[in-house]
Structure formats: structure tokens, C-alpha cells
Amino acid sequence: MKKFLMASVATALMAGPALANEVKLGVILGFTGPIESLTPAMAAGGELAMAEVSASGKLLGGATVTPVRADSTCVDSGAAAAAAERLITSEGVKGIMGADCSGVTGAVLANVAVPNGMVMISPSATSPALSSVEDNGLFFRTAPSDARQGQVLTEVLIERGIKSVALTYTNNDYGKGLADSFAAAYEAAGGKVTTTAAHEDGKADYSAEVGALASAGGDALVVAGYVDQGGAGIIRASLDTGAFDMFVMPDGMIGSALETNFGADIDGSIGTVPGTESEGAAMMADIVKAAGIENGDGPYVGESYDAAALILLAMQAAGSMEPGDYKGKIMDVANAPGEKIYPGQLGKALEILAAGGDVDYVGATAVEMIGGGEAAGGYREIELKDGKITTVKYR
Amino acid sequence: MDLLNAFVALSNFVLVPAIAYGSQLALGALGVTLIYGILRFSNFAHGDTMAFGTMVVVLVTWLFQSWGISLGPLPTALLALPFGIAGCAALVLLTDRTVYRFYRAQKAKPVILVIVSMGVMFIMNALVRIILGTNEQNFADGERFIIGAREFKKLTGLNEGLAIKTTQGITVITAVIVVALLFWFLNRTRTGKSMRAYSDNEDLALLSGIDPERVVVITWVIVAALATVAGTLYGLDKSYKPFTYFLLLLPIFASAIVGGLGNPLGAIAGGFVIAFSEVTVTYAWKKVLGYLMPESLEPDGLVQLMSTDYKFAVSFAILLVVLLFKPTGLFKGKSV
């Protein structure tokens, strides 16, 4: 017993200093649920930034960064809040990269992050409602609000001369917010939304929903849903019944599952997904490829990298890993003035900050924080050609 | 031309899907009604029995696919169906041996058996999730369409397309065959007659030398076959996910009760009544009416009575109305 006690004390003593030099960051993404095919690459993207910082050995005098993953489920607010609570209270994370879907992000923010004073940077929560949420300066996102995506989708459609569409959205914060912002922008631009109908995820059959949408008609069907869920079901049922053959898809629908499920059947369909043409995007692509991340070209991988990088750079700028100290620095490191920082240059950025200099983090997605701390937003317009997702241009 | 277009649009979105869905419900409801008629309780585990049978079919289908065995244009799952039925029969006979027989020997009241079947439901529920997981599984293969919407348009020159999926065709044909076999069995064979005798009057059947355990075993095997066929057809036509089979319980029970519990003919009629009500009430009639009505009268709105989200509410409402006004159902079943 005595020996055991001694041993415990010894380990505790040894663990002490090691802990002081370790920064834990939470990674809360929906590893199960409707976007489970996107999240592994996103998490890997965020962890790349952490590994890069650890390897540089320059964060706060040589601290290492350890990611701690937790499952947001994307849809279950209770489960996501519990996961976040665990990260903060038992794992002792100093910042959170996440959450992913808008509904759970709002829940985690209101119920866990704000009460605990924890900084959260979401790579993919895009609901316009999150722009005006009460966050005590703790919440940021590297993804743009869907209010912007609605406008971009509208521009794409109007340029292609598509003047009437049917609109269906997944019945949650993300779908509703996006559908509303798109419908408002599209109608203001002179388009006509023939009908707006919600669909529930996880049903066996969507032919009834498609029947109603087909009745309303339109040149194309806008599917603001998820590629692993109801969104795919809607497209499948539309193709089966011949109701629509042209689909317009926002970010949640763009994924490799689209190619494997439908291939050339949906040729000519278009979509938008956050992304930029900046040098950073190309550099990020190289880094991801070198790291061998599966589906590394999927959506929000760069945003995830940027989210994690911003937290770590802000810590360096504040000279502290406590959220309360560094939350004010995030906007500073993200925006001008300062030396431009691209992916793979985090070590350089840490050095500049340590010396008291300024950085302007550009990162993989040309991060430019506006308003209450959200990305201004560049989008990639895609089109399906021969069953492959191809980039048309950047907006 | 407009009339034809209207009819084709109606067929495409209402008639064809509702007939296929109705056949699937009818097969499910037949299983429920047989259990009710012969074993005298409402089997809440029926949805999950379907899920289990289908799971075996899915696994065997994958095995066949990996061996390169296929049925050409038809889905391989049809080949795997007998194995699914056997697996499902083994499971329900096991539950009967371990669970239901105990309560039967005690002559437990039907309501107790209903609660017992709920317990069985949760176990089967978990069993399927442990073996196959909760996710959607795809096991359909072969030709997707008998006729596709685009081909139909090209063929006929109409504005509206009509798509008939292979699975929809198979569903209807299989349902007709299975129902014919079942009725032949119940009405023409000695065993079938003994089952009906047992259902009509248990004591009298015992006196005339009918072995009750044999009747019970045969009933379970038939129910397992019906459940597996219904589940496989539903899974092929729509998609296989354990949770949706659990949800199917409501429309299946509604079908059985609307038709009259314990009456096989009623179960079939009930299945189609429920399917057609669900589809027609939630369908947006704008397109069809647009073809039929003169231009001045064309509707602006969608002419949709209820949003598609309320599909289940339709079967629930019908269930309530029937229970309130005609508890024995359309075809004079036993009152619930």
C-alpha cells in the first residue's frame, strides 16, 4: 500500500509539469449521424493544424497540443451538450473546434460554452441565426453564414437563367435558415419559388414529398439537406419518378456520396460549397494530400484547419491558454494588419507573435472575420459532369 | 391529351406507389391478423419480426453477391428469401418456446400477452441493431425500372412520365402469389382447416382431436414467412433501416384493424385502404387538376390536404374512426 501511494505521488508529480505544457483542444463533430461521412476528414484537418503547432515547439514556450474528439451527433442537442460538458470538466480542454451542425452548435454554445467561458470556433455551422446569438465574445466561425450562401446560390441560378424552382429543406436549424435566406434572395432577384416544403431525415421513402414538389413544378429542385440522409432520398425519389432531373445543392449536399450514389444520373446539377481560390486552398490541398487524409478534398476540411489554427494563434498572441484571455485576440490574428499566414506556416506565425509582431491569418479558406466573428465567405460553384463533381468557378 | 396526362401523373405519383405500398401493408397486416385470430393477441413485435427476417435476407443477399450469384434483371434478394424465412421462423419459434408458451399454458389474458409481445419487440429490435447496425442498408440489385419516366415520355410523347420500378412490379406479383397460396392453404388443406377450427373455438377443436401445439407452430411459421416477404419487399422498394420497420407497426395495425382483426380478407382490404388514404390525402393535386380543369379554374395553391409529414396521422385518424364507429372493422373481424 505504501509503495502504491508512493508510486501515485511520484506519477502525480511527474504528470504535473507535463500537463502544464500540454494544451488540450476539443474537437466536437458529428462522427455519427447525418454528416458522418464528412466529419472524419474535418477532424483530421483540425488535428493537422494542432500537430503542426506541436511539432514547431513554439506555442507558449514549447507546449504540445492534444486533440480530444467528441461526438456532436449533428442532430441531438442533448448528446452534444453532454459531450462538450465532458470535454470541459473532465478533459480540461482550453478551446473547442466545433461544433458542426447549426442546431447542436447553438445548443452547445448556450448551454456549455457560455456558462463555462469556453471559446468555440465552428468550422461548419452556417445558420444565419448564429450571427446574432448572445455569445459573450466566445463564439466564432470560419464558415460563412447561410445568408451569404443564399445569395450566392441565387446568383448562380439567375446567371444560368433558371427562374423558377421548388425548394425542399431538411427540417432543422440549418435547413430552415438556408431555405429562408435563399428564398428571400431568390425572390428579390426575380425568381419564383413554386413551393417550400420541409422533409424529415431518416425516412425510408420520399416519394410522397417528391410528389408534392413535382406538383408545384419548377425548372429545378433546390435540396437544402444532407447528402447522407433525406437529401439523397429526395434526389433518388425525384429521379425514380422523373419529377426533376436538375438539382441545386448547397453545401450539406456536396460530398463524394453524391458521385457514388447518383453518378451521371444528375449530370448538369449545380451546387455551391464554401471554398476559395486563394493560394491557401492549394497549399492546404498539398498538406492534406501529404498527410494522406481520406476524402481530404471534402467540404470544411480547410475551415477545420483554420478554426484550430486560429485558437492556437490567439493563445500565442495573448500569451495564455485560458479562453478568457485569448478570446479577444482571435479577431486580431484573423484580420489585417500583419504578415499573411498560409497553411503550413503556423510555426512562422507563432514566432512572429512571440516576438510581439502582428499576423493576418489567411489560412486555407482566406479567413476574413466580419461582424460578430464569422467568415465573410467565398464559395466554390460546382457542377456535376460525367458523374464527377467539378469546379466551375469561385465566387 | 390532357386527360391522359392527368391520368399518367396520377398513376406515377399516386396509383403505382400506393398499390405497391398497399401490398406491403397487406402482407404485414395478414401476419398480425393471423396471430390475432389463432393465438389471440396483438403481436407488437411484428414490425421487428419483419426487420429480423429482412436482415437475414440482406445478409444472405450479400453472401450471394460476393459469390457472384444473381438473378439477372431480378433482385438477388428473391433468391435469399427462403433463407430469410427459415431464419425468421427459427427466431419466432424460439420466442414462442421460451416466452409465449409459458403464458399460453397459464391461459394468460390477451392484454398480458400484448405486453409480453412488447418485451419481445424490444429484444428483437436490439438483436437486429446488434447484428446489422442501425444504418440504412442497400441490398437491391438487378434492373431498377420496368419502365423509366424518361423512356415513357419518349415512347408516348406525353408531357408526364410514368415510372414503374422493378421492385414495385415484384411487390404486387409476389403479394398476389403469397395471398393466393395462403387462402388455398387455409381453405383447402386439412391443416388450414384445423387452424381455422382452432381459431373459431379452441375447446371444440381440442375435442375433435386437433393438436394445439402443432397449430401454433404452423401459425408462427406462416407468420414468419409473411413477415419476411413483406419486410423484404418493403426494403427492396424503399430502403432497409431497422427503425423504419418499427414505425411500420402503426400503419400495419391500422390496416389489420380497419379490415377487421382476425379476418385475412379484411387485412388485405385494410392494407390498401390505409395506403391509398395516406398517399391521396398527402398528395398535392395541383398538377392533376391543372390538366383536368379549364384554364380559368386552375388552382393556384398546391391543393394538398395535409403536409406529407402527417402521413402517420392519417393512418392513426382512420384507426380512431374505425374503432369509434365500427370496432369490428370493415369485414366483421373480432372486436378489439
Residue A251 has pLDDT above 90, yes or no: no
Q: Residue B28 — φ and ψ, nearest 5°?
A: -65, -45
User: Cβ(A72)–Cβ(A29) under 8 Å?
Assistant: yes
Judgement on whether residues A106 and A82 belong to the same structural domain of the protein: yes
Q: Which residues contact A128 (CB under 8 A, 6 or more apart)?
A: A145, A146, A147, A177, A180, A181
Q: Please, what is the average pLDDT of chain A? A: 88
Residues A88 and A236 in one domain: no
A389 and A254 together in one domain: yes
Q: What percent of chain B has pLDDT over 90?
A: 64
Tell if the CB–CB gap between A242 and B153 is shorter than 8 Å: yes
How many Cβ pairs within 8 Å bridge chains A and B?
85
Residues A95 and A176 in one domain: no
Residues A35 and A124 in one domain: yes
Could you give the residue ranges of the DSSP H alpha helices within A67-128? 77-86, 102-108, 114-116
Residues A29 and A103 occupy one common structural domain: yes
Q: What residues of chain B lie within 8 A of the CB of A241, using their CB? A: 12-13, 149, 161, 163
**Amino acid letter, residue A31:** F
Closest to B258 in 3D by CA, of B172, B196, B320, B176: B320
B105 three-class SS: helix
CA distance A126 to B16: 39
Handedness of CA A146, A98, A49, A47 (dihedral sign): negative
Contact residues on chain B for A243, CB-CB shorter than 8 A: 13, 149
pLDDT of B163 > 80? The answer is yes
CA diameter of chain B: 72
| Grid cell at residue B248 | 411500420
CA distance B150 to chain A (A): 7
User: Rounded to whole angstroms, how far apart are CA atoms A364 and A353?
Assistant: 20
Residue A18 scores a pLDDT above 50? no
How many folded domains does chain A comprise? 2
* Residues of chain B positioned with their CB less than 8 A from the CB of A171: 309
Contact residues, chain B, for A212 at CB < 8 Å: 282-284, 302, 304, 307-308
| Amino acid at site A368 | E
A48 and A131 both lie in a single domain = yes
Q: Give me the mean pLDDT over the B87-112 stretch.
A: 94
Side chain identity at residue B80, one-letter code: A
Beta carbons within 8 Å of B291's beta carbon, 6+ residues apart: B2, B3, B5, B6, B9
SS3 A167: strand
Sign of CA dihedral B173, B177, B182, B183: positive
User: Please, which pLDDT band fits residue A170 given cuts at 50, 70 and 90?
Assistant: very high
CB atoms within 10 A of CB A184: 15
Nearest CB partner across the interface for A212, out of B244, B278, B284: B284
Minimal CA separation from A161 to chain B, in Å: 22
pLDDT digits (tens, 9 = 90+) for A355-381: 988 999 988 888 888 877 888 877 889
Residue A322 touches chain B, beta carbons under 8 Å? no
Instruction: Show Cβ contacts of residue B322 under 8 Å, excluding neighbours closer than 6 positions.
Output: B257, B258, B329, B330
Residue with cell 446560390: A153
Q: Enter the DSSP assignment of B136.
A: -
Alpha-carbon gap, residue B6 to B288, rounded angstroms: 5
Q: Do A295 and A190 share a structural domain?
A: no
CA torsion sign for A141, A146, A147, A151 is positive
The domain ranges of chain B are 2-325
pLDDT in tens, B44-55: 999 999 999 999
- Cross-chain Cβ contact B14/A211 below 8 Å: yes
Question: So what's the pLDDT on residue A6?
Answer: 59
Residue A235 has pLDDT above 70, yes or no: yes
Residues of A in contact with B308 (CB under 8 A): 197, 199, 208-209, 211-212
In this predicted model, what pLDDT tens digit does every residue of A315-354 receive, in sequence order?
A: 999 999 999 999 999 998 998 888 889 999 999 999 999 9
| Pair A24, A132 in one domain | yes
* Residue A14: Cβ within 10 Å count: 10
Looking at this predicted complex, what is its ipTM? 0.81
**Confidence bin at A98 (pLDDT 50/70/90):** confident
Across all residues in chain B, what is the average pLDDT?
91
pLDDT value at position B334?
A: 65
Is the CATH code 1.10.3470 the one for domain B2-325?
yes
Q: Domain check: are A235 and A127 in the same one? A: no
**Planar angle of CA A88, A91, A97, nearest 5 degrees:** 60
Output the pLDDT for position A15.
Answer: 46
| Contact criterion met (CB < 8 Å) for B308 and A214 | no
Q: At A245, which CATH number? A: 3.40.50.2300
Q: Provide the residue range defining the domain that includes A185.
A: 147-274+379-394
Dmax (CA) of chain A: 81
Which residues of chain A make contact with B144, given a CB cutoff of 8 A?
240
Yes or no, beta carbons of B163 and A195 under 8 Å apart: no
Q: What stretch of H or E contains B39?
A: none
B336: pLDDT confidence band, cut at 50, 70 and 90? very low
Which residues have a Cβ under 8 Å from the Cβ of B299 and sit 6 or more positions away? B285, B286, B289, B290, B293
Angstrom distance (rounded) from CA A144 to CA A369: 9
